C-alpha cells in the first residue's frame, strides 16, 4: 500500500468502526470484519476496495465433525472437500441474491479454514454507496443494525 492509500484506509477504517460498531480487525491495519449473526456469515471490507461476504468453517472443526472423536488421520484435501459440502446449505440460502447483486463467488481453502466467499469491488471513496452496500449486507445476511 502506498502511504496515501494507507492514510486514506486508516481514516476510512476509523469512520467505518464509528458507523458500524460491529466491525473489528483480525490484523493490525488490515481488513475490517463483522459477524453477521447466528448463521456464521462474516462481512469484510478490505483496503484494496473489496466487500466480502463469507461463510466458512475451521479445518479443525471440519475434522472433528468428520471423525466424530475417532483418531483418524484425515488428509487436508478430503477434509476441505467435506467442509465445502457442509457449507453448501447455508451458502445456497443466499447464493442467488448475492450473485444477482454483483458479487462474485469463490472458494478459499487454507490449512486453517475453508470458506465460500462472495466479493464485490467497491469505491472506498464513495462513502454513501459503501455504507448502503454494508447496510444491505447486514440486513440480508442477518445482522440487525
| Range name among 6-10, 24-28, 72-76, 128-132 with the lowest pLDDT average | 72-76
Which domains are present in the chain? 3-141 (3.30.1460)
Give the dihedral of Cα atoms 19, 121, 113, 97; nearest 10 deg.
Answer: 90
Q: Which residue has the higher pLDDT, 95 or 59?
A: 95
92, HSE (Cβ side, Cα atoms, 13 Å) = 6
Q: Which residue has the higher pLDDT, 32 or 144?
A: 32
Q: What's the confidence (pLDDT) of residue 66?
A: 67
The chain-wide mean pLDDT, for the chain, equals 84
Q: What's the confidence (pLDDT) of residue 71?
A: 42
Tell me: the pLDDT tens digits for 65-123?
666 655 456 666 777 777 777 788 888 999 999 999 999 999 888 878 888 999 999 99
Tell me: the pLDDT tens digits for 20-49?
999 999 888 889 999 997 778 999 999 999
Q: Say what the pTM is.
A: 0.84
Phi and psi dihedrals of 142, rounded to 5? 105, 15
Amino acid at each position: 500500500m502506498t502511504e496515501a492509500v494507507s492514510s486514506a484506509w486508516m481514516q476510512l477504517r476509523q469512520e467505518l468502526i464509528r458507523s458500524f460498531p460491529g466491525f473489528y480487525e483480525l490484523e493490525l491495519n488490515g481488513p475490517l470484519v463483522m459477524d453477521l449473526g447466528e448463521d456464521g456469515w462474516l462481512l469484510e471490507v478490505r483496503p484494496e476496495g473489496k466487500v466480502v461476504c463469507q461463510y466458512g468453517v475451521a479445518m479443525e472443526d471440519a475434522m472433528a465433525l468428520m471423525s466424530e472423536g475417532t483418531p483418524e488421520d484425515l488428509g487436508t484435501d478430503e477434509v476441505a472437500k467435506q467442509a465445502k459440502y457442509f457449507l453448501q446449505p447455508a451458502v445456497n440460502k443466499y447464493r442467488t441474491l448475492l450473485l444477482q447483486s454483483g458479487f462474485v463467488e469463490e472458494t478459499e481453502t487454507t490449512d486453517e479454514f475453508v470458506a465460500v466467499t462472495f466479493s464485490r469491488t467497491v469505491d472506498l471513496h464513495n462513502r454513501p454507496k459503501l455504507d448502503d452496500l454494508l447496510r444491505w449486507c447486514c440486513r440480508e445476511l442477518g445482522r440487525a443494525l
